[in-house]
Amino acid sequence: MPVISRQEYAGLFGPTVGDKIRLGDTNLIIEIEKDLRGYGEESVYGGGKSLRDGMGADNRLTSSGVLDLAITNVTLLDARHGVIKADVGIKNGCIVGIGKCGNPSIMDGVTPGMVVGVGTDVIAGEHLLLTAAGIDTHIHFISPQQAEHALSNGITTFFGGGVGPTDGSNGTTVTAGPWHIHRMLRAFESLPVNVGILGKGHASQAAPLEEQILAGAVGLKVHEDWGATGSALRHALRVADDMDIQVAVHTDSLNEGGYVEDTIDAFEGRTVHTFHTEGAGGGHAPDIIKVASLTNVLPSSTNPTLPFGINSQAELFDMIMVCHNLNPQVPADVAFSESRVRPETIAAENVLHDMGVLSIFSSDSQAMGRVGENWLRVMQTAHAMKAARGKLPEDAEGNDNFRVLRYIAKITINPAIAQGISHVLGSVEIGKMADLVLWDPRFFGAKPKLVIKGGMISWAVMGDPNASLPTPQPTFYRPMFGHQGKVAQETCVTFVSRAAREAGIQDKLGLERRVMVVHNCRAISKGDMVRNAETPRIDVDPETFAVRVNDEHATVKPVKHAVLNQKYFFS
């Protein structure tokens, strides 16, 4: 069999097993672990390449027997698969194959169901990375333009609450009551992302909660600004158990209704998704972070404090004042804000992410967090933790695969599991919706090249539309055809509860988008969090706020220089 050099092979077909790739300007190195294609039979698009009639393409078949879209020779980063080289096949907006595409009539090893033919288009992935699209479970629906900024950083799914820039929406991820829920579901018809609404989880009986779920809310949010009492939590969790939805909680910073132990008692061992579990974004001061050790808690935290930087503390004070309708001239309001900002627990938050104790990474969009920076911040944090803490024990000598995949899991599969949508989204797996992101490795985490939504390119870096090629400057993100007209309704999903679906919410509101049901929100635990299921003992010193994990001080110094930053952005 003819042999070519590794360098020549990489130039033709991209890297393969044993090749290493640096991610952006970070210190993170990935190494391809497995190649599913087969050497000498690679499927490549282009002039003089193999995907031509009678060669790699079987042009005798109708569209029913071939892929709609093939992503060829791409390096796949997925929390479940690992780091692999493969072709990825898409049909009817879903992933149908991960392996080798081509023409089985003349090529060996073509994966069943991955035939290329007349009905197939191709994305050449030889020098690109492929991930599942990101999922943000902590969205304040304050402005519809958030969707475009999120797409620009590889996020295609929103879970949250709000109705626009009301003070309640600015402060809490809550869409209050059936009337608002119905209006927002209709507003989402033209939004180019998947969505799920969180209703207001504050009631002293079941009926006000149940009517929101029947109206189309996909979960309930308990927030301290509305009163995160033990009673509210218990009622919300009981309804959640009955209706198979998730409960998200932002606990009581002032400890007025009880301490962290009282909130834990109110959980009664039931599954709950804790928002900004560190506490700068809100929660029992100073020790809400302790709940991350519980098996029934799915802990997330938000990007304003990740990575922990030299300016993190200073910017948080003003954020809290604006978000929660506080007055810097009122001493009690100042004390409230200051109680939430603790460098010691912020430092520990970063360490706990690196240890796999905090499982989910979200934004808190326009309410202290930045919706278009989730992938950016997650990779910056991974870099900062490697620089501060060294290699993880799970990583091999020459790569950072485990660490990179741990952080990717926080923004893809784990939020999908927490919100009951992992059967649809969250990983690059056969049968799932083709919400995918293609990255140039030089820009990984900062700027995606293409965002695929339900099998169609929705958002992309595009040059001057009047130019002779797609590449001439100015190049910036532009909506593509998958973003236009009624296509977005076919490629985007509105998530609701089973009860709402069975009650006919789609027909009642005349929704033209795909409506899908969340499920298995209750029978899950921390152990289901992929690569992020650790439950160590966590203690917080009430005087110094120092955090100890299994008796070891969990801390790092704030970073002075962030990667994927000024080299990549003008501002």
Same domain, 242 and 331: yes
For residue 97, pLDDT over 70 is answered with yes
Examine residue 569 and state whether it is found in any structural domain, yes or no: no
CA separation for the pair 134, 155 (Å, rounded): 4
Residue 468 domain-assigned (yes or no): no
Burial of 569: CB neighbours in 10 Å, binned 0-12, 13-18, 19+: exposed
Which tokens is 41 given? 């039979």
Instruction: Fill in the amino acid letter for 15.
Output: P
Which H or E run contains 233? Answer: helix 230-243
Confirm whether 145 is domain-assigned: yes
Last residue of a domain, one of 127, 160, 182: 127
What's residue 323's pLDDT? 74
Which of 127, 143, 169 is a domain's end point? 127
Same-domain status, 180 and 60: no
Closest CA to 116 of 102, 104, 100, 96: 102
171 assigned to some structural domain: yes
Q: Are residues 139 and 57 in the same domain?
A: no
pLDDT-based confidence at residue 219 (cuts at 50, 70, 90): very high
Residues 236 and 336 in one domain: yes
The token pair at 148 is: 């475009």
Please answer whether residues 157 and 136 qualify as being in contact, where contact means their C-beta atoms are separated by less than 8 angstroms: yes
What is the mean predicted confidence (pLDDT) over 96-103? 98
Which residues are annotated binding-site positions for substrate? Answer: 223
Mean pLDDT of the chain: 95
Q: Same domain for 71 and 209?
A: no
Same-domain check for residues 158 and 78: no
For position 211, what pLDDT does the model report?
A: 98
CB-based contact 171:192 (threshold 8 Å): no
Between CA 505 and CA 186 the distance in angstroms is 11
Q: Active site includes 519?
A: no
- 393: in domain: no
Q: Which of 104, 127, 150 is the last residue of a domain?
A: 127
Does any domain span residue 392? no
**One domain, residues 117 and 161:** no
Which positions make up the binding site? 138, 140, 221, 223, 250, 276, 364
Question: Is the pLDDT reported for residue 174 higher than 70?
Answer: yes
More confident site: 40 or 281: 40
pLDDT tens readout for residues 338-391: 777 899 999 999 999 999 999 999 999 988 889 999 999 999 999 999 999 999
pTM as predicted: 0.96
Mark whether 121 and 176 lie in a shared domain.
no
Whether 1 shows a pLDDT value over 70: the answer reads no
> Is position 515 within any domain?
no
The residues facing 298 across adjacent strands are: 273
Rg (C-alpha) for the chain, rounded Å, is 24
Angle CA 455–459–460, to nearest 5 = 110
Residue 236: which CATH number?
Answer: 3.20.20.140
Question: Rounded mean pLDDT of 327-346?
Answer: 84
- What percent of the chain lies above the pLDDT cut of 70? 100
Instruction: Please give the annotated binding residues for Ni(2+), written as ranges.
Output: 138, 140, 221, 250, 276, 364
Can you say whether residue 150 is alpha, beta or left, with left for phi > 0 and alpha for psi between -120 and 50 degrees? Answer: alpha
Does position 393 have pLDDT exceeding 90, yes or no?
yes
Question: Pick the catalytic residue: 284, 324, 353, 383?
Answer: 324
Q: What's the rounded mean pLDDT across residues 498-512?
A: 98
Asked if residue 247 belongs to a domain, the reply is yes
Residue 321 is predicted with a pLDDT of: 77
Q: Verify that 117 and 225 share a domain, yes or no.
A: no
Least confident of 231-245, 329-343, 489-503, 528-542: 329-343
Domain, as residue range, for 185: 134-371+526-553
Residues 62 and 164 occupy one common structural domain: no
What's the number of domains the chain is made of? 2
Query: Which pLDDT tens digit goes with each residue over 229-277?
Result: 999 999 999 999 999 999 999 999 989 989 999 999 999 999 999 998 9
Q: Is the pLDDT of residue 291 over 70?
A: yes
pLDDT of residue 322: 78
What pLDDT score does 167 carry? 92
Same domain, 334 and 208: yes
Do 154 and 106 belong to one domain? no
Q: Output the domain CATH number for residue 28.
A: 2.30.40.10
Q: What is the pLDDT of residues 114-126, one digit of tens each?
A: 999 999 999 999 9
**pLDDT-derived band at 571, boundaries 50, 70, 90:** low
